[in-house]
Amino acid sequence: QKEVEQDPGPLSVPEGAIVSLNCTYSNSAFQYFMWYRQYSRKGPELLMYTYSSGNKEDGRFTAQVDKSSKYISLFIRDSQPSDSATYLCAMSDQGAQKLVFGQGTRLTINP
């Protein structure tokens, strides 16, 4: 079993829709959670960074962490074609010996 599970998609939605991306994990020691956006064959770009449980909002993006369920989400409101990319979740523990990534979800926003 992988430490982090993420549905690879692909996910295709119309412009303006609310997008929900999710990851589940098995290691209860994870405390730091990140979402990255990766355009085709480019370096991952950090979108959101959260610590422990709760919500964090930044513009059209909201990150949620539910440690009791070992489940994290990224919501994108008013989705735009420019949001089309692969979204990767990542997490690490207090010791931060490594960053563990999900497989990535390929998202397409259709105009």
Q: Which residues bind another protein (CB under 8 A)?
A: 31-32, 34, 36, 41-46, 49, 51, 88, 90, 92-104
Residues 93/27, Cβ–Cβ less than 8 Å: yes
Closest distance of CB 107 from another protein, Å: 15
Paired tokens of 107: 């998202």
CB atoms within 10 A of CB 62: 17
Nearest to 16 by CA among 57, 76, 56, 100: 76
For residue 57, the minimal CB distance to another protein (Å) is 17
Residue among 14 and 40 whose Cβ is closer to another protein: 40
Q: How far is the CB of 36 from another protein (least distance, A)?
A: 8
